[in-house]
Structure 1
Amino acid sequence: MRDAGGAGGSGFAVHPAALDQAGTASQQCGQQVRQDLPRVVQADTEAASGLPGWQTAQELERTSSAWSSRLRALAQELDTTGADLHRTAEAYRGTERDVHGSMAV
């Protein structure tokens, strides 16, 4: 959907393909976060295991748990944002089809 700003237009333009690309990129980032999460947790676990009985080990475990939770939430948010961008792109395409169809003589 494009408005070049003529005939009272605002200059507003939407590019559904760009929305789709951004949606795909967002979902790929979410997937990458999920794939990297075990390495983050493993590094903290290994560091904590080297400090048995130390308070630092307990803090590393708590930190690891907090990061794990936050990264899972981030991955989910990226997935949701990506899906929303894809739906928005399709909605714009549908509107374009409807407008063109209503103008057909």
Structure 2
Amino acid sequence: MNKLAEFFRFFDKHRIYLPPELCDSLQDLAMQVRRHVIRFGVYVNFDDVTLNDNTRAQKEKAWNEGWDAIKNQVPQVRTALENEFRVLLGQAANPTLQRTASGDL
């Protein structure tokens, strides 16, 4: 949870450098991961042997749903972020791309 809070503080401070759509995706991802971390965190302090079958199943479900969210959504957002940086770096390194991006040819 601490690393997630650290990420969100960093992201919030630097979001001005990214397009609004990408910021929305990153923020949505952070909030979804936070929800899963909180849901699973309820069970962390309990040893599995002290849990009844139903509670143990809920703990496993919370873990699996959290992992599925991370496994499926992080790669998509990461790809979008990488693509945005490629565009920005390409434009900075290639004056032709800068003119094309601004509409001047």
Using the size of structure 2 for normalisation, the TM-score is 0.48
Structure having greater relative contact order (Cα 8 Å, sep ≥ 6): 1
**Larger CA Rg, structure 1 vs 2:** 1
